[in-house]
Structure 1
Amino acid sequence: MDNVSRVTSFVLSGLNVTMNYRVALFSLTLISYCFVVLVNVALIVTIILDKNMHEPMYILLCTFCMNGLYGTTGFYPKMLWDLLSPVHVISYSGCLVQALVMYSFVCSDMSILAVMAYDRYVAICRPLEYNSIMTKPRLLLLVCFSLLTPFCISAMNIILTSRLKLCSPYIDRIYCVNWIIVKLACFPADIIVNNIFAYITIIIYTFHGFLIVWSYVYVIKTCVNSLENRAKFMQTCVPHLTSLLIFLATIFFDVFNLRFGSNLPPTIQNVIAIELLIIPPIMNPLVYGFKLTIIRNRILGGITCKFQR
């Protein structure tokens, strides 16, 4: 048992069925990654360079896009390498790092969405107090909370996973996921602590969900009898709700795939596995870019100036 538990590398077996289409998949993956980087960097740079957008809502949006780049960087370079390689192997430490990035990326997205919901609540329901509540120090604290807390929670999950003795080096997925690694443990009793901490994590992010629902209950109540607030809701809350629904839908399919997707065709499993790393990182900046007038005008203005030159 000691010999099989000393896993030094993992074999990612989820990609084997698609190797006949290696060139086409490599091209599509590279185009997707380039487009993710393009739309997110464009929005981030626009917000950073325009002082008129140095407000809480836009700073949180900038953080949201940065987290999207962080998560996709943990997946696409390794995926592109695997598409060119006949053997899909990742080191033990590299697998844990990738699982950490994936885990913290998803948790940070949820935290940022919760903070953005609170920001919209204060802006619409308590507009006279907005500047005194969403001060720069408090905003910095909220941004740090939405990035560092998920990272620490995810790191704790990965540390608990790293202590397990594993009986197999085969991961039936195209990238490393903490839950998949935990299932490779030799002794079921060893993963009790992992399961307990996983339930604690679920409870923490359930409270995030309650915060979002609570914020929008008050926002909708406030907007019902006010045309001005309804216009503000349509302008700033609809993009947030769209991003939230996209996030929840992709998470639902990913969790379903992890828990019950073993009977699905491998190609379908792969599509569901990567949707979380394609759809939200591309759609979020596009939704905000098209819906928020000031961002749309800045980007279109910059493109127009370049063509005129």
Structure 2
Amino acid sequence: MCSSIASFVVATIFATLMLRESNAQLSATFYANTCPNVSSIVNNVVQNALQSDSRIGASLIRLHFHDCFVNGCDASILLDNSANIQSEKDAAPNTNSIRGFDVVDNIKTALENSCQGVVSCADLLALAAESSVSLSGGPSWSVLLGRRDSLTANQGGANTSIPSPFEGLTNITSKFSAVGLDTNDLVALSGAHTFGRAQCRTFSNRLYNFSGTGNPDPTLSSSYLTTLQQTCPQNGSGTALANLDLTTPDNFDNSYFTNLQNNQGLLQSDQELFSTSGAATVSIVNNFSSNQSAFFQSFAQSMINMGNISPLTGSNGEIRSDCKKVNGS
């Protein structure tokens, strides 16, 4: 009986993946003949980058996330300003915040040296995100590939579509829903905040003047509040960094969810997953906190789901030779 159920679950997951793959025209073996070493090339560059910059894994997965939420996973976030392009890098959620472009350039150079004109920048971001997670102790998954790169950016879309650390759960849920992601995806992908850093300006309102009350956010643990106030003084620059996960800041694990249970989520958008009374997210947080394997499995699937947001495929878009600019510009 158990064997039959297990077989059914595996078959269902496989069918779901195949359906998503078919709909998006993406495939884990897309570069099998044209660039068979693509995954190892990306992995090696990311691994080297992590040796000198413990934050880079979180930064690379954030690039993929912020890219996919604006016009789909098309590497539009990587484009610089030009005569025809207003860069998404200058949008409010990204300016002076997103990073890792030097590593993206290094990955692209390595790919071009091995298989010129073959691998898109959009696929590069998806592969770099997977490497960042797996190299930091998290799950690995077969990245579906075959995306092509956009010919333009959408700065306005970046300003409105990317979830903000200051937003409430209702708004963030709506933004996920708008790109086809559900509540489980929301909680699982938020778990990427198990590593990386955030600037004080993204949460200092919680420390001193939450929602204009003149008081701290009541959902913050008092001891954690004291720690954060020392890191982020009221009249500070706002650019100092705090660990998103105060317990294991450089490891990909499920500590993030335990932190939420202890009222030690750094961002408002984090803590609301657990502190919003009656929210569907609470039981998912509890499950992921007690079962790291369940979190890892859901996270991998949600990354695949996110990577399937409106990719350019076939003859749409192009394969950029330089991720910062459209070919021929």
TM-score, normalised with respect to structure 1: 0.29
More helix by share: 1
RCO comparison, higher one (Cα < 8 Å, 6+):
1
Higher gyration radius (CA): 1
